[in-house]
Amino acid sequence: MFSVVYIVLSYTLLRVGCMPSGLRIVSNVTPAEDEYPFIVRLERRIVLKYNNTIAAENNVHICTCAVLSRSLSLTAGHCLNSVGSITNLTNSLTVQTVVRFGAGGGNIAKVISVIQHPSFYEPGSVMRSNIGLVRTELIELKQYARLSALEIVDLQNRVITLVGYKAIKNSVRIGASGVFKPSQLQLLHVVAMPHVNQSELKFSTECASIHCLPTSTTCPGDSGGPLLHSTGIIGVSTISLESIQVCSELNNTQLFRMEDIIVLTKPHVQWINDSMTRDEWISDIN
């Protein structure tokens, strides 16, 4: 009798999707620079000018973003905590948050404001609705990111791709002709596992609480990058790709609970689309 009840209960859990979903790491790849033009860098830029000419520039990588339209980019909600307004510390020293895009990170668009999800909640290491939007000066691209409303159960045993920029401590350029070294894009190919036994998931609490912010000295990468499928963006990473790989080695596992590292876009598609429509309307009247 107990066996029959257990089988029925297990089947029911599988049908309603109550069992945890997982992502299994397959490979790590470095793509061509222009392969994903809509995936960009969110940075804090410190500029020192002399005689109205840039004498020195220091750039601190914050998070990865995906450009959805000319003025809105998608990222993790906690990344917005590190976005500040343009501050003129002196007549010659300015601090600003920018989105860096284009080949070699050669173009920048200043961040105007951010749109935090109304349900975003940050009581500690566990965050709710960890997704947000960055409003910038106009970004002209040949290709913009598109959203997908797929569920993880629709991707059973298929390879999908986590994308993010490998953060470096800073990028310094001395003089207008100085060498600028941008952060490097990386891909983490994973397989979606819709229903996984809890015992198989070994993602530690310490790893789940890692969020890469400019104030951190231990975070080796960034977060906020998209989870890509052929239909579009199906999620946003909430920790760095490098942290996922480090935790994989520490825990001797290639399988992680998806909710520890990903926020799916499906529950938030309407909010994102409404924000984009409103932003386009504001742009038109201006």
Q: What is the pLDDT of residues 154-197, one digit of tens each?
A: 877 888 898 988 765 555 555 555 555 666 788 888 888 766 55
Instruction: Calculate the CA 135 to chain-centre distance.
Output: 15
With 0-12 / 13-18 / 19 or more C-beta atoms within 10 angstroms meaning exposed / middle / buried, residue 172 is middle
Q: Which residue has the tokens 């948050």?
A: 97
Q: Give the highest mean pLDDT range of 9-13, 76-80, 85-89.
A: 76-80
Contacts of 86 (CB under 8 A, 6+ apart): 94, 95, 96, 97, 110
Q: What is the pLDDT of residues 21-65, one digit of tens each?
A: 677 778 888 888 789 999 999 998 888 888 888 888 888 888 999
Provide the pLDDT for residue 212: 40
Average pLDDT, the chain: 75
With cut-offs at 50, 70 and 90, classify the pLDDT of residue 74: very high
Q: What is the pLDDT of residues 232-284, one digit of tens each?
A: 999 998 876 766 666 666 556 556 677 777 889 999 999 999 999 988 766 65
With 0-12 / 13-18 / 19 or more C-beta atoms within 10 angstroms meaning exposed / middle / buried, residue 183 is buried
Provide the pLDDT for residue 138: 94
Task: Give the C-alpha separation, 154 to 11, whole Å.
Answer: 18
Q: Are 214 and 223 in contact (CB under 8 A)?
A: no
Percent of the chain with pLDDT strictly greater than 90: 29
List the chain domain ranges: 19-285
- The hierarchical CATH code for the domain 19-285 is 2.40.10.10
Q: What is the token pair recorded at 279?
A: 């932003």
Name the pTM for this structure.
0.79
Task: Give the C-alpha separation, 224 to 122, whole Å.
Answer: 16
